[in-house]
Amino acid sequence: MSRNLLIDLGSSEFLDNFRRNIDEFDSARLPQEPLSKENLRKLVELGIYLPAIPREYGGRESHREMCEIIEIMSERNLPMGMYTMIVTVLFLRNVAASGDDALKKEVFEDFLDNPVIGGLAFTEPSSGSNLARMQTTYHEDGDGYRITGTKHWQAFSEQADWWIVCAKHPERKEFAYFAHKRSDGGFVTTEVYDSLGLKNLGYGLNTLDLRVPRHYRLNKTRESLGDAAEILCASRFSKAAMASGFLRRLSTEALRHVSTRKIGDGTLHDIDYVRYKVSRIRQNYVVCNALYRHLMLDEDYYTDLENSMFASLATKVLSSELMLESAIDYQQLCGGEGYRMGAPDNIAAYALLDARVYTVFDGTNDLLCQHLANLFLRRFQQSGLRSPLEFIGRFGYLEDAFFLLTDINLSHLTDAPSQDRIVILGRILSRMYGISMLQKSSGAAAPSARLAVDEADYPKAIAVLKNEIVALVNEYELAGRLAGTGAEPEAMRAHTTMVTVNSKAGVH
């Protein structure tokens, strides 16, 4: 189908056409290696980049379609969902938002017509998650800029045709962002990493000695690393789309496997604990479906996402942890065949290896939980309220969870927690956010038939998250006791809280 015809299609037709033509990219078929140009061309011809390209440059310019393409790809092949997100949400989105007109024209014409890839070069060997310590620097050089340094863990290290590179000024605490076309030279991959999962993405170590024209500098003006934080908000939100597609597949395949695996005169599905594990995978999907609905309907990749920092952090933490938990359960259900690469009847081995990295990339979850908790504590202190539960009832992203949390004693969670407790608090907040999103989704029309969820699943999913909160509150107390500062067990009613499913009220 020609690009002009793809542009003229309605959204449903465009997405249906894309979905029907990507069977060869399924994780059970696609080689576990970087994508060939031939295969990438097929995706480009299906319009994989079009939703991320503005209409004035020949694209479809659709936040919702960007979400849908990532979700569809993630159901077929989780690494390809990440692949799509990096090129569209991290590279093309930022060129569209902050690029010079001449840069936009050059980039978008290339991506419309050619099988090219765009990546993001932020992380460095010496700085880890602390971008402020990066050693890559830039300075003015004639009519452009020279950028020198080292970057690593860049997806598409050897394959990317375009980059967005973050560098700092050697004398001022100032960070800047530059586009770079690989064919212009200076971006050299010196080592290819043998990563545990996501092998389609091709990670490595890169040395940079770049000269870029002045108009390749992106128009980003926040102080310090504020623009990097906004860029990563979009990436972290995208985990909801990836988790929704990935877990819908795992839920479907886990049920199929246990229903057909013969055990004596019956099947695995006849075993109570097996049905429980299958149900847990299903409920994890329902949670991530709700997170995804919020991303699709209430956020917008075509806007600045700085004010959505809390939601993006909670989304990344919760969705990635549910992905990993479900992948482990799926592998257990598949038994020995679940540990076999290329097993003929399951993708469990690939699913677990690919899902594992999500709790680490884009900031490890432990660090993000600390950030999430600090955002909450800062706003709680500014509110002047004394009760954390009362504040939750007034905090936009959590307020829908308020009435479902009243039987858990949360009063100690904001009493000057230590660093270890702050991390646990962040994990608690991510589950509260999940409950709030489930409450919003319950009773609301699904964005499409493919994303419809049985209403009976919502109270079950809420019960799962609420029990996790109870366990985390206990862990919060345990951390204090191990440090010699905790209260007695009776201080928290969470120890005796029993969460049950109620079809009318959700949980009680």
pLDDT at 63: 98
Residue 315 is predicted with a pLDDT of 98
Closest CA to 134 of 143, 125, 142: 125
Cα distance between residue 408 and residue 134, in whole Å: 43
CA–CA separation, 446 vs 128, rounded Å?
40
Q: What is the mean pLDDT of the chain?
A: 92
Q: pLDDT value at position 4?
A: 81
Q: By the 8 A CB rule, do 134 and 167 touch?
A: yes
Q: In a structure prediction context, what are the per-residue pLDDT tens digits for the chain, which is 508 residues long?
A: 777 899 999 999 999 999 999 999 999 999 999 999 999 999 999 999 999 999 999 999 999 999 999 999 999 999 999 999 999 999 999 999 999 999 999 999 999 989 999 999 999 998 877 888 899 999 999 999 999 999 999 999 999 999 999 999 998 889 999 999 999 999 999 999 999 899 999 999 999 999 999 999 999 999 899 999 999 999 999 999 999 999 999 999 999 999 999 999 999 999 999 999 999 999 999 999 999 999 999 999 999 999 999 999 999 999 999 999 999 999 999 999 999 988 989 999 999 999 999 999 988 999 999 999 999 999 999 999 989 999 999 999 999 999 999 999 998 888 888 999 999 999 999 999 999 999 999 989 999 899 999 999 999 999 999 999 999 999 998 988 888 765 544 434 444 344 444 433 333 2
- The reply to whether domains 3-116 and 121-216 share a CATH topology is no
Measured CA to CA, the distance from residue 233 to residue 310 in angstroms comes to: 9
**CA 178 remoteness from chain centre:** 24
What pLDDT shows up at residue 265? Answer: 92
pLDDT of residue 415: 86
Count of positions (residues) in the chain: 508
pLDDT the model gives residue 486: 53
What CATH number matches the domain at 3-116, 1.10.287.130, 1.10.3210.10, 1.10.10.1100, 1.10.540.10?
Answer: 1.10.540.10
Structural domain spans, the chain:
3-116, 121-216, 226-359, 365-507
Contacts of residue 150, defined as CB under 8 A and 6 or more positions apart, other chains included, come to 124, 125, 126, 135, 136, 205, 206, 207, 208
| Helices 365-383, 419-441: inter-axial angle, 10-degree rounding | 80
pTM of the model: 0.93
pLDDT at 128: 74
In 3D, which of 457, 132, 92, 469 has the Cα closest to residue 314? Answer: 469
Q: Which fold has domain 226-359?
A: Butyryl-CoA Dehydrogenase, subunit A; domain 3 (1.20.140)
CA distances from 414 to 189, 310, 418 (A): 47, 17, 10
Give the model confidence (pLDDT) of 159-211 as tens digits.
Answer: 999 999 999 999 888 999 999 999 999 999 999 999 989 999 999 999 999 99
Residue 480: its pLDDT value, please? 83
Query: Domain 121-216 falls in which CATH fold?
Result: Butyryl-CoA Dehydrogenase, subunit A; domain 2 (2.40.110)
State how far the Cα of 333 lies from the Cα of 320, in Å rounded to an integer: 20
Q: What's residue 485's pLDDT?
A: 61
Helix (H/G/I), strand (E/B), else coil: 164: strand
Helix (H) or strand (E) holding 41: helix 37-45
b (16+ CB within 10 A) / e for 383-402: eeeeebeebbbebebbebbb
